[in-house]
Amino acid sequence: MPKEYDLVVLGGGIGGYSGAIKAAKAGLNVALVERDLIGGTCLNRGCIPTKAYLKSAQAIREFKNISEFGIETNYDYKVDFLKIKQRKDKIVQSLRNGVSSLIKMNKIDYFEGEGSVLGTSIFTPKSGSVMIKPDGDADEIILTPKNVLIATGSRPANLPNIKIDEKNILTSNGILELEKLPKSISIIGGGVIGVEWASLLTWMGVKVTIVEFQDRLIINESKKVSAQLKKEFERQGIDMYLSTKVESVVSDDNGAKISADNDGNEIEIESEKVLVAVGRRPNIENIGLEAAGIEFDKRGIKVNEFYQTSAENIYAVGDVIPTLQLAHVAAAESEVAVDKMMKEDIPPIDYDNIPRGIYTYPEIASVGITDGTDGNQDQANHGQFDFKFNGKSMIMGESIGQVEVFSNKKNDDLIGVSIVGPHATDLISEPALGLYLNATPEELGEAVHPHPSLSEAIMEAARDINGNSLNK
């Protein structure tokens, strides 16, 4: 007999395990199915490992600039990349063990194997039963849940004219397995993944070249921020080819060569490695969507504002649906989905309130509308404060960047904040809370901020909208 559950979750990434834990804490009987490593992309091949590498890159940068703080040393440094990788692996394993412990602690049944949703049949009269194919020769397992949550995530995308070998031509998965730094690397793609890898590798001493099809980096951020990152990358010695279409990539024992069209000019770029960082694709294949009558397209599974699919007892969240591909978004979506399963009266997520972070040097973070408009093509009010005038950033020796605050001209509501500079990805939480609470810049500016602190830049930028900044 198939085992019955209140909820079966397909996918053990942050969207999957967050929903499973929330449901279990609410008293539901829950099963979680994962075919690979618990923790998903973010923990194993994304957010966590890359940020561990970025911390090592930061340590190198600080050592190189240590004389600025009155410390002289006769010692040089050597990058032991294998040790850096081992540190990364240790962090990932520790967090993975933590997730496994949470699953056990909340009495969630965990199944290793490939799960798929079944349609109706004489064996599964209700659409939404789940079949699990374990590894090896074990028999298939059938689960019959009241609800299903699909959180199967995504994988690195590729271009049709590039053959990935994970040796010289890498994805964001393969590059994490390198045990030796290349002398040079070309990164195809100037989005978030591409620029983060460019930032950390250049500080580790790798010669980096970025090849981007668009006319600027990080196309989802404002033109001002894109230009600012480009300028800083140029200063750090990173080569960039924008408005460039990659025609082919070939690899041999000596490395890899990109052939590309750079605004009408044929160019060739040679490097030891190539990283393909052109986005990610939803994992929607072989999970039974057609059989269960679930609507989807190449962008992912179609859902309503509470993440219900066209089969109302089947939900989908995270990278497998066409929303922001961010770990914290997947976790938030899964909580809303579980609340909806339990018939809670909840509001949908307002994606304008969700902060975004890019962990380059300098860091970049934003929330809301930051393109200078109010979302209706009307100009927004604008306030700005530069970190070069902030006492804490001077003390830290990190004065690059600024805080920009945007508000609606009609009602003065806060509509967006952009931060470029030290700890931007931490600082953005305050403006995100302000947006969530429907605050005005005046209210942000009236809140007393500790001195000296980086957060004072938010206060000063908010005050600057009305010309009330005391330190500008």
Assess contact for 158 and 276: CB atoms under 8 A. yes
Helix 14-25, helix 327-341: angle, nearest 10: 30
Q: How many CB atoms lie within 10 A of CB 264?
A: 6
Question: In angstroms, what CA-CA distances link 316 with 3, 78, 123, 294, 333?
Answer: 22, 46, 24, 10, 9
DSSP-derived letter for residue 54 is H
Tokens found for residue 268: 């060739």
Rounded Cα distance, 402 and 385, in Å? 6
Rounded Cα distance, 423 and 310, in Å? 41
Rounded Cα distance, 314 and 294, in Å? 8
Rounded Cα distance, 190 and 145, in Å? 42
Question: In angstroms, what CA-CA distances link 59 with 64, 66, 265?
Answer: 9, 10, 39
Determine phi and psi for 6, rounding to 5 degrees: -75, -35
Q: What residue has token string 């960082």?
A: 277
Assess contact for 197 and 277: CB atoms under 8 A. yes
Assess contact for 406 and 351: CB atoms under 8 A. no
Options 328, 382, 449, 451, the catalytic residue: 451
Assess contact for 275 and 185: CB atoms under 8 A. yes
DSSP-derived letter for residue 15 is H
Reported as half-sphere exposure (CB side, CA atoms, 13 A), residue 433 has a value of: 9
Nearest to 405 by CA among 443, 378, 377, 376: 443
Catalytic residue status for 451? yes
**3-class secondary-structure state, position 119:** coil
Tokens found for residue 278: 């052109």
Rounded Cα distance, 247 and 324, in Å? 29
Q: What residue has token string 């690979």?
A: 36
Exposed e or buried b for every residue in 194-216, given b needs 16+ CB within 10 A?
bbbbbbbbbbbebbbbbbbbeeb
Q: Which amino acid is at 425?
A: T
Helix 192-203, helix 223-235: angle, nearest 10: 20
Catalytic residues: 451
